Amino acid sequence: MATNILALPLALLEVETGNNEDWIDSVKYLVGDAPPDEEPPQLDLTGIEFEMEVRRAAGDHEVILSASTKAGGLSIGAPPNTGYLIISIPVTTMKPIRAGEYVADIVATDGTYTRRCIEIALTVKEGLTR
């Protein structure tokens, strides 16, 4: 099955979340142009699998957090919103993560191609309400 993996641009995100909350963010992929009062069509992510790893620094071996469309934590929006890549990490997973600066990336694969599509500079804040 052909996918739109080669149309995915590299997105750079700065994300701030806390270790006492669900980390929920989404990226909406759009294609083409549209008049100012209309939104361009969404890039269909169907058939693409996504995987994310969070580390303290790029060269570190230890993975602080991982998520994927297969194991959970990442998902593609339900039709007709298949242009959304959703990050949804529950508070139970966030609680043990120490406050600090982290790096992450998200890699897309469709069985033929693999490409890094998102780089994340992640700040985890120490939650006060526990």
pLDDT tens column, 8-30: 999 999 999 999 999 999 999 99
- Helix residue spans in 1-130 (DSSP H): 91-94
Please list the residues that pair with 101 across neighbouring strands: 123
Q: What ranges do the domains of the chain cover?
A: 5-125
What is 5-125's CATH topology? Immunoglobulin-like (2.60.40)
pLDDT tens column, 74-129: 999 999 999 999 999 999 999 999 999 999 999 999 999 999 999 999 999 999 99
Q: What gap in Å lies between CA 70 and CA 72, rounded to an integer?
A: 6
What average pLDDT does the segment 36-46 reach?
Answer: 93
Q: Name which of 105, 109, 104 is nearest 123 in CA terms.
A: 104
Return the SS3 of 7: helix
* DSSP assignment string, 96-129: TSPSEEEEEEEEEE-SS-EEEEEEEEEEEEPPS-
98, 124 Cβ separation under 8 angstroms = yes
Return the SS3 of 84: strand
